[in-house]
Structure 1
Amino acid sequence: MDKYILEEKKRILIDFINSKEYQPMKLKEIGTVLQVPRNEKQDLRETLESLLSEGKIEVDNAGRYKLADASTKTGIFNGTQRGYGFVVIEGEPDDIFIPENATKGALHNDKVMVSVKRDKTGKRQEGEIIRILERANSIVVGTFEKSKNYGFVIADNQKFGKDIFIQKEHTKGAVNGHKVVVQLTNYGDRDKNPEGKVIEILGHMNDPGVDIKSVILAYNLPQEFPEEVMEQVEHVEDEINPNEITGRKDIRNLPTVTIDGEDAKDLDDAITLSRENGIYHLGVHIADVTHYVTENSPLDKEALKRGTSVYLVDRVIPMLPHKLSNGICSLNAGTDRLALSCFMDIDEKGNVVGHEIAETVIQVNKRMTYTSVKKILEDKDEEERKQYEEYVPIFELMLELADILREKRRKRGSIDFDFPESKIRLDEKGRPIEINPYERNKATKIIEDFMLLANETVAEDFFWQELPFVYRSHENPDSDKIKQLGIFINNFGYSIKVSQEEIHPKELQKLLIKIDNTPEEALISRLTLRSMKRAKYTASSDGHFGLATKYYCHFTSPIRRYPDLQIHRIIKENLHGKLNEKRVNHYYKIVPDVARQSSLMERRADDAERDVEKLKKVEYMSQFIGEVFEGVISGLTNWGLYVELPNTVEGMVRVSEMQDDYYIYDEEHYTMIGEHTRKTYKLGEKVKVEVVGTDKLLKTIDFEFVDEEE
C-alpha cells in the first residue's frame, strides 16, 4: 500500500474508532460497518496493524480493537543481562523501567506496547509490557556451548538477556567456542528461553578475524553492495568530463590543500584561505557527491539504507562503493574535482560578514597529514617547514583564524570535551599490538574549527530561507541529571548556576575550564558528558546545546554521512532555481524519515565501533595478566569500581573480590566505603591495579587493587 494512501486510511480509521457510536469490534465487524469490499479486507488488516504498531490502538484478548489507553505507550525495549529492561519512547526524556517479571518475553530492541505507572516513590516511571508489536531479531550471533543432548548459544549482545536453546539436530556440528549465526525459530516467553537453529559457523572465537566478523553480522552491517548498485557505479567515469565544468565557479587557480589522517582514503573536504584588509576569505570545499549519487537511484537507496560509513579497527564499511569514495568523489591532489563550496568572509572577531554557497571545480595542490601540519605549526620542525615552504604561510594563517573562531565559540559557551580516543594498532593477523590515546593537536583542531563554521553557516542560511532541510540538533540536558551533577561537583568545591530548571552551556563550559589540569578533571568531564543528551538529526532547527548555537547541520562529509548528501541535493536544486512548490513539498515529506533513519544508523555504527574496540582491548590486556598498572577510578557502581589506564583501557575491580573489608557504595557522594576500616575510594582517585583476568565473551577486564606498600 502506498505510504500516503495508508496515512489517509489510518486517519479515517482513527476517526471511526474515536466516534461515540463505536464499541470495541473485531476486524470482520469493522469491515462490515465501514462497508469495506472483500478485495480490500487485506488493506484494512494492514491499516489496523500499522496503527497497532504505532500504539494508537490496542487489541484485547477477544481480538477487538479499541483506542489505546492514555497510560499505554509504544517504544523500543532495551534489555539487560540481569533480565529487567527499559522502554525508550521517542521524544520522551525518561525511559520506562520494566521489572524482570513484566517483560512478557520481550527481547532487546523489540518494539513493544507498555502500560505505564509510577513506582512506589512516585519518581520513576515503571511499566509492564502488554504486547510485543515487532520482533527486532530473527538472526542472532553468539558463542556456542555444547551439552550432551543439545546446545545453547550465548548472544554476543549482552542485552539480549537469554541464552538460545538449540536442539541437537540443529547444531550444524558446532563445538564449544564456535562463533555461530542462529536463526530464531521460537522467541520464548517470560519463563521459556528462545529456541533456534545454527545456520552458519563463523569459526572458533580465538581464530583471527572471527571476532570482528561476528560484530559485523550481529549488527547486520552490510558487507557487499547489491548488484544494481555496482552496475550503476560501472558507468561512473574515473575522471571528470570537461563538459561537467560548465556553469561552475572555477577556483583551480587558488592554492588548495586537504589535511587528513595518514591512512585516510576518502578525502571529502579541502581548504583555501587568504586575508586582505582585515578580512579572512575562507573556502570550505566539499566533494560534490550528489552529482554522481542521483535521487532514488540504486546508489542513493543503498546509501540511505546504510546511513553512514562504519569505521572498525581493521576496516571501513563504506556508505558508498570505493570507486566513488576513494576515486571520483575523493578530493585527491593533482586532479580536477567537482565540489560544493562554502565561501566565508570573516572579520577579526570571528563573525561571518558575508558568505556564498556555489558549485565549483577545484584542484587540490597538496595532500597534507595532521602529523605533518602539527610538525610545521607546533614543533616548528625545520625539515618539515622547508619541505612545504610554499604553504607554511597558509598554515600559519589557518592557525591564526582557527584561534579566533575557537575564542568566539568559547565566549558564547560552546563546550569542548577533549577526551582521548583510542588508537589501536593490529598486526597482520588482526591481533592488537599497541593501544594509545589518539590525541587531538593543532592541525586536527584547525580542520574541526573550519568544518564547524561551514556547518553553522549553511544551517543558518537555509533556516532563514524557510526550506526543508536536515539539521543536527542537540537538546538541552534533563534538569534532574543537571541537579545530580550539581550535587556531585559540590563535593569538590565547584558549582553551576541553573535558572528555571534550565542550564546555559556556558555554565558547563566554565566548569570544564575550572577543572582543567586538576586530578578530578577526567571524572567531572565524564559525568558532565553523561548528563547531556545525544545529538541527532531532525527536520527542524532545534538548536545545538553543546555548541551553543541555534543553527547547525552536517554539510562537510557527504562521502560518509547520508544527511550531508541529502542537504547537498537540496542546496544544489535551490542554486539552480528548481525548488518549486512540488519539490519543496516532496522534501518536506521525506526529510523527517531521512533524519530518523540517519540517527538510527549512526547509533548502530557507534555501538558496533565501540564493541570492536572493547574486544580488541580485552584481547590486548590478556597478555598482561599478573602485571601492575597505574590508573584512575573512572566509575562506581554497587558491584564494582571501574579503573581507566593511561592507554584508555578500562577494567573493573569487583566489590565481591575486595577481601580487606565489606565495601558499600555511597551513591550521593560517589565513593566506595569500607564498613569496618572506613577506607574510601573516590572517583578520579589514582590507584594501582593488577590485571587478574579477561573475558572475551563478556568483553570484560578484571583488576584487583594493589596496596602501595607491596
Structure 2
Amino acid sequence: MVSKKRPKKTALRRRNRIERIKPAPDAYGREIVEALNRAGAPLSADELAARLEIKRRERRVFDAALAALVRAGEVVQNRAGSLLVAKRIALLAGRIEGHPDGHGFLVPDDRSPSVFLPPTEMREVMHGDRAAVRITGRDHRARPVGTIVEVLERAKRRIVGRLHSEHGVLFLVPDDRRIAHDILVPPAEAGRAKAGQVATVDLVAPPSRHAQPIGRVAEVLGHHADPGMEIEIAVRKFDLPHEFSRKALAAARAMPDALRPDDLSDRQDLRELPFVTIDSETAKDFDDAVYCRREGKGFRLWVAIADVSHYVRHDDPLDLDARERGTSVYFPRRVIPMLPEKLSNGLCSLNPDVDRLAVVCEMAITPKGEVARYEFYPAVFRSHARLTYTSVWEELSSGKANENLQSLYAVFKVLFDARTRRGAIDFETVETRMIFDARGKIEKIVAEARNDAHRIIEECMLAANVCAGGFLAEHAHPALYRVHDVPSAEKVAALRDFLAEIGLQLPGGEIPRPRDYAQLLEKIRKRPDFALLQTILLRSLKQAVYSPNNLGHFGLAFDSYVHFTSPIRRYPDLLVHRAIKAVLSAQRYSDVDWEALGRHCSETERRADDASRDVETWLKCYYMRDHVGGVFSGTITGVVPFGLFVTLDEYFVDGLVHISELGRDYFQYDGARHMLLGERTGKRFRLADRMTVKLVRVDLDTRKIDLVPA
C-alpha cells in the first residue's frame, strides 16, 4: 500500500494561520470600486493601490481582485492602463466578435446581451479586440446597437491568409472570415512573398475609421493546395501553440529512457497482473490500461493511468508548455501533442511489455454495477498486450476471449446497466473517418464502426472518473470538475415546442431530469429519424466545462465527476492527478488559481475542437469539388432564416440550400417549429424532412457547399 507522509504539525498550523489572516478578494473588490468612484478620474493600478494603502504582502490578492473586476466588466481598463468604473460612464466593456458579413458584436464582460455593431463601427476594430461601447438604440430585431467609444486592447495579432495583388498593391485576405479587413502589405514589408501564396502577417498598424490595417509578412507557408496546408492554416488561425519551448525540449531530452530504481519507491508493484490497453489501430499514446477479475458474484477492476505528474512537475518548463496548450489537438493524419513525443509516445505511454508508472484506481464492483469500495495509489506495472477495439470485439464475438476480456465485458454490462437505471443519457453519435490517398487528400468518407469493445473502455473510464471526483470531493480538495449544468428553461421550452409538432413529448418539469431525456431517447431509438432527433436533444443541453465549482454532470447523472484518465493529452487530468497524490500524502495542491485554470482549459478545449472541425470541413469541401453536378439524397439538419442545411447521406457532408432556391414563394421562418413556410403555396420545409438536392458550387475559402433542390 501507499505510504502516507504527513506534514509536520507546526508547518500545517503556520500555513492555516497565514490563510486565516489573508484579506478576502471580495472585500478588496468593494474597496476598489468605492475608491475609483471617490477618485472621480481614472487611476492606474499603482495609484489605486497607494490610495488603498495596500501593503506589499497584500498586493497579490489585490491584483487578483482587480483582475476579477475587469473580467466581470465592473471596472474598465484602457490601453494606457487607467482604471474607471464602467457604470459611471455608461459603457459596456467586452470582446469583439466579427461576422463574415462585415458587422460584429460586443460580448460584454458582465454577460449581459451582446451588442450589435454595424459595419461602420467595425472599421476600427477586429475580431478578438477588446473595446468599450455605448448603447445608442435598438435595431429591428430589438437587439441593442452600440458605438465604439474606445479600443481597450488589441488582440495578439499574427494573421494567416492568402496574398492577393490588385493594381500593384499587395494585401492579405484573412482565412478567418470573422476578420473582414484586408491587410495591406507595403513593398518594404513583403520580403519575398508573392500573390497567391499562403502567409502570416504581423500587424504593423491597426485599422482606424479611415484606414485599413497594415501588416508585415512574418512567414510564407506555401500554396493553398499544398498537402497539409489546411492544417498549417488552422494552427495559425486558431493560435494553437505548436512548437515546444527550448526549455521544455531540453527537459524532455533529460528524461530517462526507462524507469530508474528511485522511481519505484512508495509504489505498489502490479507487474504480475495481466493489464492490457485497448485502443484504435492508429493510436500512439496510451493513457490507460485495464484489468478485471471476478470475485464471488462481483468484480475487482483495476484502471491504471499513466503517472504523468511524476515527470511533469508544477511550473516546470514541461508544465508551462502543457498548461498553455491545455490539450492535444487531433487532425486527420497529424497530432499536435500536449507533451513532447519522448513523454507522450515514450516514457509516459503505456506501451506493451515495458515497466511504467501509473496512478491506479482499484474498485470493488457489485453484481448490480455499484462501486462498493475504491482506492487510489501510485503503482508500477506493465501492459501485457496492446489490443485494438476490432481485435477485442472479434475475440468476444467468437467466444475465444481470455478470462480478463470476458471479465471486462461482464463488468461493462453491469456498470452500463447501473448507469441506465440511474437515468444517465446515452447518446449514440455516428463518428466518421476519412480515408486518404497518397497525396493526403480524401479518398472516401466512411462511418466509423463502434462496438462493445469501445464501450468496455468507456465504462471503465467513467467509473474511474467518478471515483476520482468523489475522492476529491470527500477530502474537500480543490480540483477542476467536469461540470455539465442543467439545460436552460428557454432551450427546454423550444425543444418541447418542436417535439410537439412531431407528436413527441419530453417528460419532466420545467427543467427535466437526465432520466427524462433518457426515456425519450429510448422511445425514439428505432425511428428512421433517430440520429437527427438525438442531435436536436443534444443541442438543447449546455456545453460541459471545467470548473472548481462542483455542480455535477447532468448528462451522465453524476454528482461529482472529473477527468482523470487522459493526463497525456488533457491538462485538467494532470491537475486531478496532482490533487489526488496531494491527498494521499496528506498535503494540499493549492498554489494554483483554479477559477482561471477552469476558464483556460475550457477555452483550449473549444479552440482545439474548432481547429479540428475547420480542417475537416476544408477537407470535405476539397473532396466534394469532384462531385459538383451530382444529385444526392439527404436530410434537413438545420433550418435558418436564410435557408436549409442538408446532410448528404452518402458523404456525411453538410451543404446549404439558400432560401432563394426554394421556389417562387416568400418563405417565412418559424424558429419555434424549425420550419420555413411558403406564404402562397403553404409548402413547408421542416427539420428532419428528407430532400433530394443537386451540388452546384464549392467554395474552399469560405468552406461552403451550395445545394439546390433537384
Q: Distance in 2 between matches of 1:284 and 1:117?
A: 58
Q: Distance in 2 between matches of 1:400 and 1:210?
A: 46
Moved more, 9-18 or 637-646: 9-18
Q: Distance in 1 between matches of 2:121 and 2:186?
A: 28
Moved more, 109-118 or 454-463: 109-118
Instruction: Give 1:185 shift.
Output: 2.2
Identity of counterpart residues, as a percentage? 35
Whether the aligned pair in 1 keeps the contact of 2:362 and 2:376 (CA below 8 Å) is: yes
- 1:131-180 per-residue CA deviation (whole Å, 9 max, x = no partner) reads 43322241111122211032332211122233333345544454443212
Whether the aligned pair in 2 keeps the contact of 1:53 and 1:74 (CA below 8 Å) is: no
From the superposition, tell whether residues 86 and 449 of structure 1 become closer, same or farther in structure 2 (CA, over 3 Å): farther
Q: Distance in 2 between matches of 1:32 and 1:636?
A: 52
Instruction: Give 1:14 shift.
Output: 6.4
Instruction: Give 1:191 shift.
Output: 6.1
Whether the aligned pair in 2 keeps the contact of 1:345 and 1:354 (CA below 8 Å) is: yes
- 1:229-262 per-residue CA deviation (whole Å, 9 max, x = no partner) reads 1211122111112342232111112121110010
Match of 2:202 in 1: 183
From the superposition, tell whether residues 120 and 639 of structure 1 become closer, same or farther in structure 2 (CA, over 3 Å): closer
Q: 1:155 aligns with which of 167, 174, 180?
A: 174
Q: Distance in 2 between matches of 1:548 and 1:439?
A: 26
Q: Distance in 2 between matches of 1:122 and 1:171?
A: 44
Q: 1:627 aligns with which of 615, 625, 630?
A: 630
Q: Distance in 1 between matches of 2:466 and 2:83?
A: 48
Equivalent positions of 1:549-568 (< 5 A) are 549-568=558-577
What's the TM-score, normalizing by structure 2? 0.88
Instruction: Give 1:333 shift.
Output: 1.0
From the superposition, tell whether residues 288 and 630 of structure 1 become closer, same or farther in structure 2 (CA, over 3 Å): same
Moved more, 84-93 or 652-661: 84-93
Match of 2:583 in 1: 574
Moved more, 656-665 or 317-326: 656-665
Aligned length: 681
Letter in 2 for 1:693: R
Equivalent positions of 1:98-113 (< 5 A) are 98-100=117-119, 103=122, 105-113=124-132
Asked whether 1:693 is paired with 2:697, we answer: yes
Asked whether 1:215 is paired with 2:227, we answer: no
Moved more, 235-244 or 631-640: 235-244
Moved more, 643-652 or 319-328: 643-652
- 1:367-398 per-residue CA deviation (whole Å, 9 max, x = no partner) reads 10011112223xx34xxx6xxx4x43332322
Q: Distance in 2 between matches of 1:227 and 1:66?
A: 40
Match of 2:16 in 1: none
State the SS of the aligned residue for 1:237.
coil
Q: 1:18 aligns with which of 12, 22, 34?
A: 34
Q: Distance in 2 between matches of 1:47 and 1:408?
A: 44
Q: Distance in 1 between matches of 2:162 and 2:558?
A: 46
Asked whether 1:643 is paired with 2:646, we answer: yes
Letter in 2 for 1:557: S
Q: Distance in 2 between matches of 1:198 and 1:623?
A: 33
Whether the aligned pair in 1 keeps the contact of 2:78 and 2:151 (CA below 8 Å) is: no
- 1:197-218 per-residue CA deviation (whole Å, 9 max, x = no partner) reads 3332211212222222111121
Instruction: Give 1:526 shift.
Output: 1.9
Match of 1:657 in 2: 661
Letter in 2 for 1:625: V
Q: Distance in 2 between matches of 1:254 and 1:229?
A: 34
Q: Distance in 2 between matches of 1:425 and 1:192?
A: 46
- 1:251-301 per-residue CA deviation (whole Å, 9 max, x = no partner) reads 112121110010111001000101121121111110011111122211111
Letter in 1 for 2:687: L
Asked whether 1:346 is paired with 2:359, we answer: no
Match of 2:687 in 1: 683
Moved more, 355-364 or 649-658: 649-658
- 1:620-653 per-residue CA deviation (whole Å, 9 max, x = no partner) reads 1111111222211111112221111233211111
Instruction: Give 1:124 shift.
Output: 5.8
Whether the aligned pair in 2 keeps the contact of 1:370 and 1:443 (CA below 8 Å) is: yes
From the superposition, tell whether residues 59 and 336 of structure 1 become closer, same or farther in structure 2 (CA, over 3 Å): closer
Instruction: Give 1:443 shift.
Output: 0.9
Equivalent positions of 1:268-307 (< 5 A) are 268-307=287-326
Unaligned runs of 5+ in 2: 1-21
Q: 2:504 aligns with which of 491, 494, 499?
A: 494
Letter in 2 for 1:404: V
Q: Distance in 2 between matches of 1:162 and 1:690?
A: 33
From the superposition, tell whether residues 450 and 150 of structure 1 become closer, same or farther in structure 2 (CA, over 3 Å): same
From the superposition, tell whether residues 271 and 26 of structure 1 become closer, same or farther in structure 2 (CA, over 3 Å): closer
- 1:643-696 per-residue CA deviation (whole Å, 9 max, x = no partner) reads 112332111112223455554433332222344433322211222222211111
Asked whether 1:69 is paired with 2:79, we answer: no
State the SS of the aligned residue for 1:22.
helix
Moved more, 260-269 or 422-431: 422-431
From the superposition, tell whether residues 9 and 482 of structure 1 become closer, same or farther in structure 2 (CA, over 3 Å): closer
Match of 1:265 in 2: 284
Q: Distance in 2 between matches of 1:653 and 1:667?
A: 17
Q: Distance in 1 between matches of 2:134 and 2:110?
A: 17
Whether the aligned pair in 1 keeps the contact of 2:86 and 2:93 (CA below 8 Å) is: no
Q: Distance in 2 between matches of 1:574 and 1:34?
A: 40
Q: Distance in 1 between matches of 2:288 and 2:81?
A: 57
Q: Distance in 1 between matches of 2:111 and 2:461?
A: 31
Structure 1 segments of 4+ aligned residues over 6 angstroms from their partners: 6-14, 46-49, 59-64, 120-123
Whether the aligned pair in 1 keeps the contact of 2:107 and 2:114 (CA below 8 Å) is: yes
Whether the aligned pair in 2 keeps the contact of 1:420 and 1:648 (CA below 8 Å) is: no
Match of 2:517 in 1: 508
Instruction: Give 1:32 shift.
Output: 11
Q: Distance in 2 between matches of 1:374 and 1:33?
A: 65
Moved more, 311-320 or 196-205: 196-205
From the superposition, tell whether residues 236 and 491 of structure 1 become closer, same or farther in structure 2 (CA, over 3 Å): same
Q: 1:598 aligns with which of 590, 596, 601?
A: 601
Q: 1:426 aligns with which of 415, 433, 436?
A: 436
Whether the aligned pair in 2 keeps the contact of 1:672 and 1:680 (CA below 8 Å) is: yes
Instruction: Give 1:48 shift.
Output: 12
Match of 2:12 in 1: none
Instruction: Give 1:571 shift.
Output: 1.3
Q: Distance in 2 between matches of 1:320 and 1:63?
A: 35
From the superposition, tell whether residues 414 and 109 of structure 1 become closer, same or farther in structure 2 (CA, over 3 Å): farther
Letter in 2 for 1:159: R
Whether the aligned pair in 2 keeps the contact of 1:455 and 1:554 (CA below 8 Å) is: yes
Instruction: Give 1:57 shift.
Output: 2.8
Instruction: Give 1:129 shift.
Output: 4.7
Whether the aligned pair in 2 keeps the contact of 1:632 and 1:643 (CA below 8 Å) is: yes
Whether the aligned pair in 1 keeps the contact of 2:79 and 2:153 (CA below 8 Å) is: no
State the SS of the aligned residue for 2:676.
strand
Whether the aligned pair in 2 keeps the contact of 1:25 and 1:64 (CA below 8 Å) is: no
From the superposition, tell whether residues 323 and 140 of structure 1 become closer, same or farther in structure 2 (CA, over 3 Å): same
Match of 1:367 in 2: 386
Instruction: Give 1:7 shift.
Output: 10
Q: Distance in 2 between matches of 1:61 and 1:569?
A: 38
- 1:110-140 per-residue CA deviation (whole Å, 9 max, x = no partner) reads 2334556995899866655544332224111
Match of 2:17 in 1: none
- 1:429-452 per-residue CA deviation (whole Å, 9 max, x = no partner) reads 221112112232211111111111
Whether the aligned pair in 2 keeps the contact of 1:208 and 1:430 (CA below 8 Å) is: yes
